[in-house]
Amino acid sequence: MLQIILYNLDIAIEAIKRNKLRSLLTSLGIIFGVASVIAMLAIGSGAQQEILANMQLLGTNNIIIQPVVEQREGEVEDDEAVTYDQRRYTPGLTLEDLQSIQKQIPQVRAVSPEIIYDTQFIRAGQMRSGKLVGVNGDYFNINNFQITSGTNFTDLHFDDAMPVAIIGYGVRTRFFPGENPMGKRIKAGNVWYSVVGVLQERQLTSSQIENLGLRDFNMDIFVPAESVLLRYRNRAAITNRDVQQEAQDSGPGNTSSESQSDRNYNQLDRAIIQVSDNNYSVTIAEIISRMLERRHNEVIDFEIIVPELLLQQEQRTRRIFNIVLASIASISLIVGGIGIMNIMLASVIERYREIGVRRAVGAKRQDIQLQFLTEALAISVTGGFVGIILGIAFSYLIEVTAGIVSIVTLSSIVISFGVATMIGIIFGFFPAKRAAEQEPVTALRHE
């Protein structure tokens, strides 16, 4: 059997060599079809990897709570603004909210606040602006941060609001070049903090920073939230300065557009909730929303974001987009198959005498059919090989020129080559069958 296949392959190669240009034009549909499918699947694989990377950054089981300006609507009888006394009181987003959420919802694995202050970092004559972030010990696990040296915060750090800090990789390279920062101090604003840990460098692209609302964590300094509230301003606490400022704002003749109620009264800038199972994310988000609304006196001054839902929606959109593109690219394969069938039918007519001679010297119908099927398959497989090389080149070119991540996988190559082979068999079968059905006498008489 192998000898028969090799013999028919020699005949097919000889026929292709006799009509090189026609064979090349016939295989163009297969070539560009395979190349297009590989390129589209490579873009899809790159998009999938990017989404998975984004999910890892945001946390697959996380729920984010952010304070917002209270939304109010309705009608007024005159042009006078609604006074502060007519508005409901709300304490804003506080640490007590997080403690209540963790205590009352069993599926909540961990919670962490974020209290962010823009300040100046100073050490050894070097100064740079940066963000001081108040967090708890669960913050780094929730956000998939790795502490490369030193340790995480301990309960003692929070109980005593100690001035200790875990610094980002960029802060370490900027303020502690060539030295071990453990135990050394760095000044943030007016407070000196002792370094107890250094975070691993986290690479972020500009698109991740823009689309995911992230920032460059490498230049942040993380300290216990209690330390921030003690040594900086606690926005949830009302001080004499606040009372005096409110009296000035509400005094006669004051035209200032900013009132005390418009200022940031939230103790936290953000809160992150990690649930034990992402299947409960939506349900828990609804429960948290009702809890906070009740705790905030029916005032909606917060928003709840489930990052996984946003990323899943993006994933579905990209998947549909990739399927559409791959389907369009597959049309080239079908067109190439039609071209193979058309050329093979013409080749059968041109080679009637050859068919008649082979039948006359003892070739069976099966031999004739295998001969033409092998020729169609050879054209298709050759086009598939060329298409694979071209598809890999297209993927690289798209990544370089358009900045789109593309990953060529072995599965995409196997699928594309397998489809090209099937195209050759399917569209080559009918011409081969027609050639095999020719009667020897009729074929020999054909001019």
Task: Based on the fold, state whether residues 124 and 18 are members of the same structural domain.
Answer: no
Q: How many CA atoms lie within 13 A of 389 on its CB side?
A: 5
Task: Based on the fold, state whether residues 106 and 44 are members of the same structural domain.
Answer: no
- Per-residue pLDDT tens, the chain, 447 aa: give them: 666 667 667 777 777 777 777 778 878 888 888 888 888 888 877 776 766 666 655 666 788 888 886 555 555 555 545 454 445 678 888 889 999 998 998 888 889 999 998 999 999 888 999 899 999 988 888 888 889 989 988 877 777 778 899 999 999 999 998 889 999 999 998 899 999 999 988 776 665 555 555 677 888 999 998 888 888 877 777 655 555 555 565 555 554 444 444 567 788 988 888 888 777 788 888 999 999 989 888 888 888 888 766 666 666 776 777 777 777 777 777 888 888 888 888 777 777 777 777 777 777 778 778 877 888 888 888 888 899 999 899 888 888 887 777 888 888 888 888 888 888 888 888 888 887 777 766 666 655
Task: Based on the fold, state whether residues 439 and 375 are members of the same structural domain.
Answer: yes
- DSSP run (H or E) holding 431: helix 410-436
Strands 191-199 and 164-167: parallel
Task: Based on the fold, state whether residues 110 and 36 are members of the same structural domain.
Answer: no
Structure tokens belonging to residue 61 = 């089981």
Last residue of a domain, one of 300, 325, 360: 300
The answer to whether residue 186 sits within a structural domain is yes
Task: Based on the fold, state whether residues 32 and 11 are members of the same structural domain.
Answer: yes
DSSP classification of residue 150? E
Strands 126-135 and 220-224: parallel
Q: Which residues pair with 187 in a beta bridge?
A: 122, 192
**Domain span including residue 394:** 2-55+313-445
Q: Any idea which residue has 């602006």 for tokens?
A: 129
Task: Based on the fold, state whether residues 87 and 235 are members of the same structural domain.
Answer: yes
Task: Based on the fold, state whether residues 154 and 176 are members of the same structural domain.
Answer: yes
Q: Where are the beta strands (DSSP E) in 13-144?
A: 62-67, 108-123, 126-135
Task: Based on the fold, state whether residues 94 and 194 are members of the same structural domain.
Answer: yes
**What is the distance between the alpha carbons of residues 20 and 345, in angstroms, rounded to a whole number?**
17
The answer to whether residue 63 sits within a structural domain is no
The answer to whether residue 418 sits within a structural domain is yes
- Residue 54 in contact with residue 405, Cβ under 8 Å? no
Last residue of a domain, one of 300, 325, 357: 300
The answer to whether residue 64 sits within a structural domain is no
DSSP classification of residue 140? H
Structure tokens belonging to residue 131 = 């963000």
The answer to whether residue 256 sits within a structural domain is no
- Residue 395 in contact with residue 42, Cβ under 8 Å? yes
Q: How many domains, the chain?
A: 2
The answer to whether residue 350 sits within a structural domain is yes
Task: Based on the fold, state whether residues 358 and 278 are members of the same structural domain.
Answer: no
The answer to whether residue 187 sits within a structural domain is yes
**What is the distance between the alpha carbons of residues 44 and 46, in angstroms, rounded to a whole number?**
5
DSSP classification of residue 48? H
The answer to whether residue 62 sits within a structural domain is no
pLDDT at 262: 54
* Rg (the chain; Cα; Å): 35
Task: Based on the fold, state whether residues 242 and 294 are members of the same structural domain.
Answer: yes
Task: Based on the fold, state whether residues 155 and 218 are members of the same structural domain.
Answer: yes
Q: Any idea which residue has 């579905």 for tokens?
A: 316
Sign, CA dihedral 363-368-371-375, equals: positive
Sign, CA dihedral 195-196-201-204, equals: negative
Q: What are phi and psi of 43, to 5 degrees?
A: -65, -40
- The CA–CA distances, whole Å, from 384 to 349, 389, 408, 419, 422 equal 26, 9, 16, 9, 11
Task: Based on the fold, state whether residues 14 and 80 are members of the same structural domain.
Answer: no
* pTM reported for the whole predicted model: 0.60
